[in-house]
Amino acid sequence: MRWRDRVIFWLDHRTGVETAIRNFLYEDIPASSGWHQVFGSVALFLFLVQTFTGALLAFNYAPTPGDAYNSLRYIMAEVTAGRLMRGLHHWGASMMIVVVVLHMTQAFLYGAYKKPREATWIAGVFLLLLTLAYGLTGYLLPWDNRAYWGTVVTTAIAAKAPIVGPYLVRLLGGQGNIGVVTFARFYGLHVLLLPPATTLLIAVHVYLVRKHGVAPKLGDETQPSKKFFPRQAFHDTVAIFIAFVILFVMAAAVRVPLERLADPTDTTYVPRPEWYFLFLFQTLRLFEGPLEIIGSVVLPAMAILALILVPFIDRGRLQKVTQRTFAAAVVGLAAIGWTGLTLAAIHTTPKPLIPVEIDFSQPTDWLQLSPVEMAGIGYFREENCISCHTVGTGKPTIGPDLAGTAIHKSGAWMIQHFKHPAAMVPGSPMPAIQLSDAQLNTLAAFLLKLNPRNAEALQSAPEFAVAGALLYQKNQCGVCHAANGIGGKLGPPLNGLRRRRSQVWIEKHFRDPQALSRGSMMPAYKFSASEMQDIVAYLFVLPDE
Partner 1 sequence: MTETPAVNDIGRRRFYLTFIYGLWGLMTAALAAPALVYLLLPPKVRGGTEWVDAGEVSPLQPKIPVERVFRKNRIDGWKITSENETAWVVKFPDQKIVAFGPQCTHLGCAYHWDEGTSEFLCPCHSSVFSLDGAVVSGPAPRALDRYDVKVENGKLLLGELRESDGKNA
Site string for partner 1, 340-369 (x = CB under 8 A): -----------------------x------
Contact status: 258 vs partner 1 (CB under 8 A): no
Q: How many of the chain's residues bind partner 1 (CB under 8 A)?
A: 41
CB atoms within 10 A of CB 73: 20
In this complex, which beta carbon is closest to partner 1, that of residue 119 or of residue 457?
457
- Rounded Cα–Cα distance for residues 540 and 527 (Å): 17
The 3-class SS string of 406-432 reads HHCCCHHHHHHHHHCHHHHCCCCCCCC
Binding-site member from 231, 285, 320, 474 for partner 1 (CB under 8 A): 231
Q: How far is the CB of 380 from partner 1 (least distance, A)?
A: 19
Binding-site member from 241, 312, 413, 505 for partner 1 (CB under 8 A): 241
Binding-site member from 8, 31, 44, 79 for partner 1 (CB under 8 A): 79
Beta bridge partners of 486: 483
**DSSP string over 44-84:** HHHHHHHHHHHHHHHTT---STTTHHHHHHHHHHTSTTHHH
Compute CA 542 distance to the chain's CA centroid, rounded to the nearest angstrom. 23
The per-type count for the chain, helices as H runs and strands as E runs, is 25, 4
Binding-site member from 13, 453, 500, 511 for partner 1 (CB under 8 A): 453
In this complex, which beta carbon is closest to partner 1, that of residue 48 or of residue 305?
48
Q: What backbone torsions phi and psi does residue 158 show, to the nearest 5 degrees?
A: -60, -35
Contact status: 230 vs partner 1 (CB under 8 A): yes
* Contacting range for partner 1; rule: CB under 8 A; set: 9-17, 235-243, 341-349, 382-390: 235-243
Contact status: 64 vs partner 1 (CB under 8 A): no
- Rounded Cα–Cα distance for residues 92 and 99 (Å): 10
In this complex, which beta carbon is closest to partner 1, that of residue 238 or of residue 306?
238
In this complex, which beta carbon is closest to partner 1, that of residue 448 or of residue 480?
448
Long-range contacts of 244-249 (CB under 8 A, 24+ apart): 244/45, 244/49, 246/95, 247/46, 247/49, 247/88, 247/91, 247/92, 247/95, 248/88
* Contacting range for partner 1; rule: CB under 8 A; set: 63-71, 104-112, 128-136, 441-449: 63-71
Q: How far is the CB of 79 from partner 1 (least distance, A)?
A: 5
Cβ–Cβ under 8 Å, residues 140 and 172: no
Site for partner 1 in 315-344 (CB under 8 A): none
Contact status: 457 vs partner 1 (CB under 8 A): yes
Contact status: 456 vs partner 1 (CB under 8 A): yes
In this complex, which beta carbon is closest to partner 1, that of residue 455 or of residue 483?
455
Contact status: 84 vs partner 1 (CB under 8 A): yes
**DSSP string over 271-312:** ----GGGHHHHHHHHH--GGGHHIIIIIHHHHHHHHHHHHHH
Binding-site member from 112, 136, 140, 240 for partner 1 (CB under 8 A): 240
Site for partner 1 in 26-55 (CB under 8 A): 49, 52
Cβ–Cβ under 8 Å, residues 332 and 132: no
Cβ–Cβ under 8 Å, residues 175 and 169: yes
Contact status: 70 vs partner 1 (CB under 8 A): yes
The three-state secondary structure class of 148 is helix
Binding-site member from 17, 58, 238, 301 for partner 1 (CB under 8 A): 238
In this complex, which beta carbon is closest to partner 1, that of residue 269 or of residue 360?
360
- Rounded Cα–Cα distance for residues 410 and 431 (Å): 20
- Rounded Cα–Cα distance for residues 517 and 36 (Å): 66
Binding-site member from 8, 62, 321, 516 for partner 1 (CB under 8 A): 62
Helix (H) or strand (E) segment spanning residue 332: helix 325-347
Q: How far is the CB of 264 from partner 1 (least distance, A)?
A: 22
Specify whether the backbone of 76 is left (phi greater than 0), alpha (psi in -120 to 50) or beta: alpha
| Spatial CB neighbours of 207, under 8 Å, sequence gap ≥ 6 | none
Q: How far is the CB of 491 from partner 1 (least distance, A)?
A: 35
Q: How far is the CB of 375 from partner 1 (least distance, A)?
A: 24
- Rounded Cα–Cα distance for residues 60 and 81 (Å): 12
Binding-site member from 33, 37, 71, 106 for partner 1 (CB under 8 A): 71
Beta bridge partners of 482: 487
In this complex, which beta carbon is closest to partner 1, that of residue 248 or of residue 338?
248
Contact status: 12 vs partner 1 (CB under 8 A): no
Q: What backbone torsions phi and psi does residue 483 show, to the nearest 5 degrees?
A: -135, 130
Binding-site member from 9, 167, 234, 505 for partner 1 (CB under 8 A): 234
Q: How far is the CB of 452 from partner 1 (least distance, A)?
A: 3
Contact status: 244 vs partner 1 (CB under 8 A): yes
Residue ranges that bind partner 1, judged by CB under 8 A: 49, 52, 56, 59-60, 62, 67, 70-71, 73-74, 77-82, 84-85, 224, 230-231, 233-234, 237-238, 240-241, 244, 248, 363, 392-393, 403, 451-457
